[in-house]
Amino acid sequence: MELLAEILITASLVISGIFGFVGSYGLLKLPDPMTRLHAPTKATTLGVGGVLIASMLYFIVLGDGLSFHELLITLFLFLTAPITANFIAKTQLHRNVPMDDLPKTGTGRPWATYESDEARAEAEANRNP
């Protein structure tokens, strides 16, 4: 039983390290801020989350018992990383960056914080009676 637990813990740590490395590499090598944003959020969620899961496994199988600290930290990271990424993306969009300089969304629609042409025309019509 201990050998299987050690193998699972080791695999979790190695996979977490790979995600951390890939996330750091992506942060350095991706071309613009909107695409660079994806790499560190995944590295945080999967890399640090995997290390915390390995720590929980260690204490459950080989240590003193279940530790709630790692579980709470993991839940906190899983909840806050996407919210932080959303705030950073919206800040990038509101820095007066022209829409032509942003990467394509792949859906044929603009980014969510930019108004569509119809909404802009309606707002202007309401301002000028």
Task: Examine the pLDDT at 3 and tell me if it is beyond 60.
Answer: yes
Asked if 100 contacts 90 with a C-beta cutoff of 8 angstroms, the reply is no
- Give, for 67, the enclosing helix (H) or strand (E): none
**Which of 52-56, 93-97, 105-109, 124-128 shows the highest mean pLDDT?**
52-56
Question: Quick check: 19 and 52 in contact, CB under 8 A?
Answer: no
Two structure tokens written together for 106: 């792949």
Q: Which domain covers residue 74, as residue numbers?
A: 2-104
In a 13 Å sphere around the CA of 67, the CA atoms on its Cβ side amount to 17
Tokens of 55: 């720590």
27 part of a folded domain: yes
Which backbone phi and psi does 124 adopt, to 5 degrees? -65, -40
Nearest to 115 by CA among 92, 99, 102: 99
| pLDDT band with cut points at 50, 70 and 90 for residue 15 | very high
Is the pLDDT score of 7 beyond 90? Answer: yes
- For residue 49, being part of any structural domain is answered with yes
> Is 112 part of a structural domain of the chain?
no
Percent of the chain topping pLDDT 90: 9
Residue 31 falls inside a structural domain: yes
Domain assignment of residue 121, yes or no: no
Whose tokens are 């390290």? That residue is: 17
